[in-house]
């Protein structure tokens, strides 16, 4: 009997041991993600969670990290963090960005940048070919360039004595260039003129040095009186939340001046804060408080964040100095993007919007900042300085991926090819004019539309070879300038 009892317990022990081993084989202990891959791990997991096109990107599949050994091997396939970030982007994506130091992003949201102050576009010279010509569009106040007699309309064709070039494909995308010359902290800009449709050096060479400075995006504001009509003119070069109160003060001046018409010049504005765009729309109008300006649609995992961005009547409790206009004239070009396009598209169902200039860039998406802190209610999302308290101290990488799209109150958002102008008027080499002057060609068109009085200078014909078609702009060499930020830290 005792023998049978021992045999029974031996059999039970064997069954338990066998089941235990079998269970471990089916669910093996997962090796942790390698500490050498922590940045790549952050990039993948945050993009898997937030990226607009995550469902369409095979390498962002939710099952990719089910097996840590295979996941580690996947992450190990890439060298620098930029490698995996590039690999998980959708072919539809032209704007998502990775930054190795998130302080650069945070500074940019406040208008801080490292620059020599020369804002420019690069276009083809009249003679064509692979050479390019730089055109100074404006100079930032207080910059190195502002003290060295560089001015709007100046042309340059070389940096440090090396002629600039860009080879493009049939779609206009650059496949080879020497634009890396612009990345230097200091360089000499070699200026030129156009003679008989040929670019000729004028032997003016100016050394320029970059420094960190804050650019006020309100570049020009004034009230023009033309034919007894008071016209407000605002040149606004970026949507920066830190300057919204100053923008409100500008509209107070417009009201005091008795402005009845408004021209908003966004020709070089690459975008910025969605909240600032909403506030500017509310300053232009004022009669639609609480009505839908734009609707934000997030990726499917964060559809609970889908929300309406309504017209407002205050900035943190301070009443807006709204003009209650029923029409606005907006200058926008092929350098205008993102929050600039949001302003045009969001106002369009509500008031008359006359778009003067050129087809815009075509960016209807918005982004947020992602940092390596998964231990929040919105994992990885930067929602204010408190988010930095738990951030991974081993690196400062941040992502600025596209996470959603904006549509207007009529449901329209499909303008990835750009918004077409109502009145086409391109800037022309040799005839840029003075910004804010009534005879500046694009502003002159707006004034003509407002007053009905023809400006004779607009009837002068110029060669199409002198039209400025932007290949690159100075904004492209500071990629975080092109961000359309959802102001997640403000809105949530």
Within 13 Å and on the Cβ side, how many CA atoms surround 315? 21
Instruction: Tell me what the mean pLDDT of segment 283-307 comes to.
Output: 95
Instruction: Tell me what the mean pLDDT of segment 326-348 comes to.
Output: 97
CA–CA distances in Å: residue 319 to residues 200, 283, 442: 54, 10, 32
On the question of pLDDT at 469 being above 70, the answer is: yes
Query: Which of the pair, 15 or 304, is modelled with greater confidence?
Result: 304
Contact by Cβ (8 Å): 126, 199: yes
Contact by Cβ (8 Å): 432, 439: no
d(CA 240, CA 474): 18
On the question of pLDDT at 88 being above 60, the answer is: yes
* pLDDT value for 31: 55
* pLDDT value for 399: 96
- Matching residue, tokens 């391109």: 426
8-state DSSP, 64: G
* pLDDT value for 377: 87
Instruction: Band the pLDDT of 2: cuts 50, 70, 90.
Output: very low
**What are the φ/ψ torsions at residue 353 (nearest 5 degrees)?**
-120, 115
- In this structure, the number of other CB atoms found within 10 A of the CB of residue 35 comes to 8
Dmax (CA) of the chain: 119
- Matching residue, tokens 């500071």: 478
Contact by Cβ (8 Å): 79, 39: no
- Sheet (strand 292-298) strand order: 307-310, 292-298, 402-408, 365-367
d(CA 158, CA 63): 50
d(CA 98, CA 298): 20
On the question of pLDDT at 180 being above 80, the answer is: yes
Work out the mean pLDDT of the chain and round it to a whole number. 90
- Taking the alpha carbons at both ends of the chain, their separation in whole angstroms is 73
d(CA 221, CA 7): 96
Instruction: Band the pLDDT of 24: cuts 50, 70, 90.
Output: very low
* pLDDT value for 457: 63
Query: Which of the pair, 391 or 30, is modelled with greater confidence?
Result: 391
On the question of pLDDT at 461 being above 80, the answer is: no
pLDDT 10s digits, 318-327: 999 999 999 9
Instruction: Band the pLDDT of 11: cuts 50, 70, 90.
Output: very low
DSSP lists the bridge partners of residue 195 as: 198
Query: Which of the pair, 173 or 181, is modelled with greater confidence?
Result: 181
* pLDDT value for 32: 63
8-state DSSP, 205: E
On the question of pLDDT at 274 being above 70, the answer is: yes
pTM of the model as a whole: 0.88
Here the tokens at position 408 are 């207007």
On the question of pLDDT at 428 being above 80, the answer is: yes
């Amino acid at each position: 009997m005792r023998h049978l009892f021992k045999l029974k317990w031996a059999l039970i022990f064997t069954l338990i041991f066998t089941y235990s081993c079998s269970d471990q084989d089916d669910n093996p202990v997962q090796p942790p993600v390698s500490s050498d891959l922590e940045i790549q791990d952050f990039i993948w997991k945050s993009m898997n969670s937030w990226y607009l096109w995550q469902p369409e990107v095979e390498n962002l599949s939710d099952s990719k990290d089910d097996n840590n050994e295979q996941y580690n091997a996947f992450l190990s396939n890439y060298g620098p963090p930029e490698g995996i970030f590039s690999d998980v982007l959708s072919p539809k994506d032209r704007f998502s960005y990775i930054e190795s130091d998130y302080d650069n992003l945070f500074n940019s949201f406040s208008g801080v940048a490292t620059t020599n102050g020369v804002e420019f576009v690069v276009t083809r010279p009249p003679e064509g070919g692979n050479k390019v010509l730089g055109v100074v569009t404006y100079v930032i106040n207080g910059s190195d360039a502002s003290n060295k007699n560089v001015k709007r309309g100046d042309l340059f064709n070389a940096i440090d004595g090396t002629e600039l070039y860009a080879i493009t494909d049939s779609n206009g995308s650059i496949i080879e260039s020497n634009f890396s010359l612009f990345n230097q902290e200091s360089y000499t800009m070699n200026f030129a003129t156009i003679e008989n449709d040929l670019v000729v050096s004028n032997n003016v060479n100016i050394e320029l040095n970059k420094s960190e400075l804050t650019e006020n995006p309100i570049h020009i504001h004034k009230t023009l009186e033309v034919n007894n009509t008071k016209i407000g003119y605002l040149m606004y070069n970026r949507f920066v939340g830190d300057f919204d109160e100053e923008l409100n003060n500008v509209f107070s001046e417009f009201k005091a001046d008795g402005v009845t018409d408004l021209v908003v010049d966004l020709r070089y504005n690459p975008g910025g804060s969605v909240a600032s765009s909403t506030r500017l729309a509310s300053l232009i109008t004022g009669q639609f408080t609480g009505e839908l300006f734009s609707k934000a649609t997030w990726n499917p995992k964060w559809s609970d964040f889908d929300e309406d961005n309504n017209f407002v009547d205050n900035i943190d409790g301070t009443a807006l100095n709204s003009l209650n206009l029923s029409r606005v004239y907006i200058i926008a070009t092929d350098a205008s993007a993102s929050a600039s396009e949001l302003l045009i598209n969001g106002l369009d169902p509500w008031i008359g919007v006359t778009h003067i200039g050129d087809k815009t860039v075509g960016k209807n998406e918005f982004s947020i900042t992602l940092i390596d802190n998964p231990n929040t209610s919105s994992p990885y999302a930067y929602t204010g300085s408190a988010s930095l308290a738990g951030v991974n101290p081993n690196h400062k990488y941040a992502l600025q991926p596209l996470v959603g799209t904006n549509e207007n109150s009529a449901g329209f958002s499909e303008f990835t090819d750009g918004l077409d102008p109502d009145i086409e008027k391109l800037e022309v080499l040799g005839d840029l004019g003075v910004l804010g002057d009534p005879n500046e060609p694009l502003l002159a068109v707006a004034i003509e539309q407002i007053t009905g009085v023809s400006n004779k200078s607009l009837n002068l014909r110029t060669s199409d070879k002198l039209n400025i078609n932007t290949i690159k702009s100075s904004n492209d060499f500071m990629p975080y300038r092109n961000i359309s930020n959802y102001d997640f830290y403000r809105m949530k």
